[in-house]
């Protein structure tokens, strides 16, 4: 009986990880927009029936998307990432709150500027939660690295 219970827990854990993988696929890239200035694009491809909360998910929403950048003395970060996608604002009955989220795809665009003619890595992390109409998956992280300069 104990082995059956352990097998059940492992199976549930594995299926949750598989669901997280199918719920959102992340990529990151950078493109030069001016001398020493780059747009870093962090792209979420969101699976069918799932949604990803905005950075401004709503005042009563406990799990907004949070993007943080690792300190790099060669890079100046200009403001907060801009969201590019079709923002959906909806009253969630289960939360009794108005929430902001994206379906299918959203890009988080951060403008950065190099302090000199150098080549470096720009790194950071996205902390996010994805939900569908019946459940939310546990919060997850996406660590990214993009090359800029050179």
CATH number of residue 49's parent domain: 2.60.40.1250
- Whether the full predicted model's pTM is greater than 0.85, yes or no, is no
With 70 as the cut, is the pLDDT of residue 92 above it?
yes
What is the residue-averaged pLDDT of the chain? 86
Find the domain containing 35 and state its range.
Answer: 2-149
pLDDT per position as a tens digit, 49-89? 999 999 999 887 778 999 999 999 999 998 999 999 999 99
List CB contacts of 29: < 8 A, sequence separation 6 or more: 40, 41, 43, 146
Specify the number of domains making up the chain.
1
pLDDT per position as a tens digit, 36-53? 999 999 999 999 999 999
Q: Say whether 60 sits in a helix, a strand or coil.
A: coil
Could you tell me where the beta strands, DSSP code E, fall in the chain? 24-34, 37-46, 51-53, 66-69, 75-85, 88-92, 97-102, 105-114, 119-128, 130-131, 140-149
With 70 as the cut, is the pLDDT of residue 17 above it?
no
Q: Residue 124 in contact with residue 146, Cβ under 8 Å?
A: no
């Amino acid at each position: 009986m104990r082995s059956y219970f352990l097998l059940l827990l492992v199976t549930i854990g594995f299926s949750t990880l598989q669901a997280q993988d199918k719920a959102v696929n992340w990529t990151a890239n950078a493109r030069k927009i001016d001398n020493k200035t780059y747009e870093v694009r962090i792209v979420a491809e969101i699976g069918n029936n799932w949604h990803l909360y905005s950075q401004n998910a709503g005042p009563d929403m406990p799990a907004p998307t949070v993007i943080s950048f690792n300190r790099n003395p060669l890079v100046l970060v200009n403001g907060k990432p801009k969201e590019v996608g079709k923002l959906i604002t909806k009253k969630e009955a289960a939360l009794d709150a108005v929430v902001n989220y994206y379906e299918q795809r959203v890009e988080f665009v951060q403008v950065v500027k190099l302090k000199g003619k150098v080549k470096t890595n720009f790194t950071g992390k996205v902390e996010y939660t994805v939900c569908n109409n019946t459940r939310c998956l546990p919060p997850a992280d996406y660590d990214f690295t993009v090359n800029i300069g050179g």
